[in-house]
Structure 1
Amino acid sequence: MVDAIELLKQQHREVDELFEKFEKASEGKGEQVLMDLFARIADNLAAHAVIEEKIFYPSVYVGPTADKLQEAVEEHLAVKRVIADLLDMDPSDVQFKAKMKVLQEMVEHHVEEEEKELFKSVKKLLAKEELVTIGEQMEVMFNELIQTEPRMQVPRETDEAAPLPQ
């Protein structure tokens, strides 16, 4: 049984590895390889954002985490806008690799803030059992979403940040 924070950290590592593969592939691999890697990155990020916005963030939207979560959903929005741009591009486009690098940097910044600040606050707020319950719900939803090319939903989610409980 994986708790919510461990699940999110594991997904952060997986996306990080995919970005590394993309960087290596950028040096001479074919466009199809780059498109496949982009699709995997975008699907993982899209599904990850959904489980955070629908399950994790509302579960931990209490006191000291509220401001961090407002910032987090704004960062998700920025990431979604870059993914939406990339969905309209081909790896042969001059800006494709540059936009992928910007996406990577945005994700790395977001991950760093979550792991250094938010997750520490959440561990103080919630018991281990609660984190396991939330983690199980998130894992089920992620596994369902990842089968559905979740990146294709992203362009519909670029108008405003995901709502948080008020």
Structure 2
Amino acid sequence: MDAIELLTQQHEEVNDLFEKFEKAIEKGDDSVMDLFARIADNLAAHATIEEKIFYPSVYVGPTADKLQEAVEEHLSVKRVIADLLDMDPSDTQFKAKMKVLQELVEHHVEEEEKELFKSVKKLMTKEELTVMGEELEELFSELIQTEPRLQVPSETAEAPPLA
């Protein structure tokens, strides 16, 4: 799977988790915390693979400004996750913060899929994207085993450098 296909698939998986979370909240289901943990882990691991591999690999020419904005959006997402990690689902602000998190993620995904990915496809060959996809998948698989959400609070001071 190439890098863009992998990242797009991960976007869809997180969107599905947000939908399950909303249904669980409506029903008062006990799975709310588990779903939050899965969303936060997926977002943390996804942001890490983008920041460590994908973004630096495509940080040239027309994509540079888009990538600077993207890491700032990641930072906003991480700050909301860090807040949520300190909250209980029964807290009155928990549901509201989750909605803000979802909206931040949806905005970020839309920009990546409509703008950034199109630019990247022009910059890289299919083979290069496939090789990078394998690297991204390998790192994601490693990270997701480690409860990556727990690292998020230490990553909220500033956006990571890309160059």
Alignment TM-score > 0.5, same fold: yes
TM-score interval, smaller chain: over 0.9
Q: Secondary structure at the match of 2:161?
A: coil
Residue in 2 that maps onto 1:8: 7
1:89 to 87, 103, 115: 87
| 1:107-165 C-alpha deviation (Å, 9 max, x unpaired) | 00000000000000000000000000110000000000000000000000000001110
Q: Map Cα deviations across residues 20-75 of structure 1 (whole Å, 9 max, x no partner).
A: 00011111233x41100000000000000000000000000010000000000000
User: Counterparts of 1:13-162 in structure 2 under 5 Å?
Assistant: 13-30=12-29, 32-162=30-160
Query: 2:58 is aligned with what amino acid?
Result: V
List runs of 5+ in structure 2 lacking aligned partners. none
**Long gaps (5+) in structure 1:** none
Separation in 2, partners of 1:148, 1:61: 28
Query: Which consecutive segments of 4 or more residues in structure 1 shift more than 3 A?
Result: none
TM-score (normalizing by structure 1)? 0.97
Measured in 1, the distance between the counterparts of 2:68 and 2:52 equals 14
Size of the alignment, in residue pairs? 163
Q: Take 2:158 and 2:55, find their aligned partners in 1: how far apart are those partners?
A: 16
Alpha-carbon distance in 1 for matches of 2:27, 2:66: 40
Please state whether the residue corresponding to 2:145 is helix, strand or coil: helix
Three-state SS of the structure 2 residue aligned to 1:5 is helix
